[in-house]
Amino acid sequence: MNPNESNAPAKKSLLDVSFDELTRIMTDWEEPVFRARQIREALYVQRRTRIADITTLSKSLRDRLNAHYTLRQLSLEAYIESEKDGTGKYLWRLADGYKIESVVIYEGRRTTFCISSQVGCPLDCKFCATGKMGLLRNLTPGEIIEQVLQMEHRIGRRPTNIVYMGMGEPMLNYDSVMQAAETLTDPDGYGLSPRRITISTSGVIPGIYRFADEERPFSLAISLNSVDDDVRRQIMPISKKYPINDLLDAARYYTEKSGRLITFEYVLLDRFNSTREDARKLVKLTHRLRSKINVIPCNATDEAYRPPSAEKTAVFREHINERSRRITMRKRKGWEIQAACGQLYAENQRRKKSKKS
């Protein structure tokens, strides 16, 4: 099946329909307005996977909904789980044949779902496998939400946290990302606390300002990875358009507008950002902004972007620990199953090609 020539489903997912839109549909169909609330409860409280199973609705309404909508559009293409830490990675096939990834990460009492916002990504960060795909299309709100519902069903528990750190750049699919996050945090919907959802960006500055001005209640993270413009341009081409100083101004605007901390993600790359001097610059940054920084060794297969040695990582850790409590060194999760963005997709594509040859 060629995704570019696939037949997109005629039916829209009910997960794509906001509560306000659902209320309007019920009004247009001359149904009581409370039906919209019943449908939402069936989707996000009762976790129905088929419209036929929403027995709080009349059969005639279920039939009408079923004629126009569906509830599940993702099918599992592949799954792999770490024997070391239980990290699980899912490769989903979308209704049009494209594929996306999601990851579940366990850490103490935390269960974090890492979800995708686009099929591929246009930003071409050099250490990220997803960037090699380019952008194929944006995900709909329903496709974003369904990743959460499917993973919860498969592992048998709700997430404590959701991070938009999977495939894609969330700020370049802003409206769908925010609609999905609103649904996932709606007290009458999925009901997760807004502070338990983190929107991560590689540094799309207009999106950061919009996020701040709209006073979004979700947490914000920026993939920083270097505080040196020359280095950042090499590993993250977006820095050519949005240089460090402008990015930090946007981050400062957000913290002042929201009164909240911002999180910087810092992926350690041996040849680019893991020296003692890099650590010194990173520490300096934490004193200039209301921020916390998560540092993690790179989880990439490309030799050019390998993580630093254990010894070099230890020196980096010691240097920052002596000078800042806002910086946390995190362990890599799912290293042996290649749980970083795009890696399961890439492996799946390689296997398909090898079978054909």
Catalytic residue of the set 114, 121, 128, 341 = 341
Spell out a b/e string for 70-84, using b for 16 or more CB atoms within 10 Å of the CB, else e: bbebbeebbebebee
Closest by CA to 212, choosing from 264, 164, 245, 258, is 258
Q: Considering just the CA atoms, what is the radius of gyration of the chain in Å?
A: 21
Distance CA 270, CA 306 (A): 6
Torsion on CA atoms 230, 232, 238, 244, rounded to nearest 10: -80
Can 143 be counted among the known catalytic residues?
no
Pairwise CA distance, residues 252 & 328, whole Å = 20
CB–CB of 141/81 below 8 Å? Answer: no
Single-letter residue type at 103: V
Q: Is 341 a known active-site residue?
A: yes
Distance CA 236, CA 269 (A): 12
- How far, rounded to the nearest angstrom, does the alpha carbon of residue 95 sit from its chain's CA centroid? 20
Catalytic residue among 31, 101, 146, 182: 101
Enter the tokens of residue 312. 């070099």
Query: Where are the extended beta strands (E) located within the chain?
Result: 12-13, 69-70, 75-81, 88-93, 99-107, 110-114, 118-120, 135-138, 161-164, 197-201, 219-223, 262-268, 291-297, 327-329
Burial class (CB within 10 angstroms; exposed 0-12, middle 13-18, buried 19+) of 38:
middle
| Sequence-distant (≥ 6) Cβ neighbours of residue 322 within 8 angstroms | none
Work out the number of other CB atoms within 10 angstroms of the CB of residue 354: 8
Catalytic (active-site) positions: 101, 341
